[in-house]
Amino acid sequence: MIEFDELEKKMVLKLVYYGPARSGKTTNLLKLHDLLSDEGRGGLMVLDTQDDRTIYFDLLPFFLMAPSGLRIKVKVYTVPGQVRHDATRKAVLQRADGVAFIADSQLTEKVNNSESFDNLEKNLSIVGLNIDKTPLVIQFNKRDLERIIPEPEIKTTWTPTGLPFFLASALEGNGVIETFSGLLGLMYDNIDRQYGLLAKHGLERETFLKKMTTKR
Q: Please check whether residue 131 is in contact with residue 122, taking contact to mean a CB–CB distance below 8 angstroms.
A: no
Q: How far apart are CA 196 and CA 204, in angstroms?
A: 10
| Residue 149: how many other CB atoms lie within 10 Å | 20
pLDDT bracket for residue 36 (50, 70, 90) = confident
Q: Rg of the Cα trace of the chain?
A: 17
Percentage with pLDDT > 90 across the chain: 65
What one-character DSSP code corresponds to residue 48? E
Q: How far apart are CA 168 and CA 193, in angstroms?
A: 30
* Closest CA relative to residue 78, chosen from 154, 24, 151: 24
Give the residue, 213 or 136, on which the prediction is more confident: 136
Q: What is the mean pLDDT of residues 10-32?
A: 91
Structural domain for 117, as ranges: 3-212
pLDDT bracket for residue 78 (50, 70, 90) = confident
Domain count, the chain: 1
pLDDT for 199 equals: 96
Q: What is the mean pLDDT of residues 75-98?
A: 82
pLDDT for 49 equals: 56
Q: Is 9 left (phi over 0), alpha (psi -120 to 50) or beta?
A: left
pLDDT for 23 equals: 94
Residue 171, domain CATH: 3.40.50.300
| pTM beyond 0.75 | yes
pLDDT at 202 over 90: yes
Q: What is the mean pLDDT of residues 118-141?
A: 96
Q: Please check whether residue 197 is in contact with residue 203, taking contact to mean a CB–CB distance below 8 angstroms.
A: yes
Q: How far apart are CA 5 and CA 3, in angstroms?
A: 7
- The residue count of the chain comes to 216
- Strand 64-65 and strand 71-78: the pairing is antiparallel
Q: List phi, psi (to 5°) of 87.
A: -65, -35
* Closest CA relative to residue 169, chosen from 95, 106, 93, 99: 106
pLDDT at 150 over 80: yes
Q: Please check whether residue 59 is in contact with residue 74, taking contact to mean a CB–CB distance below 8 angstroms.
A: yes
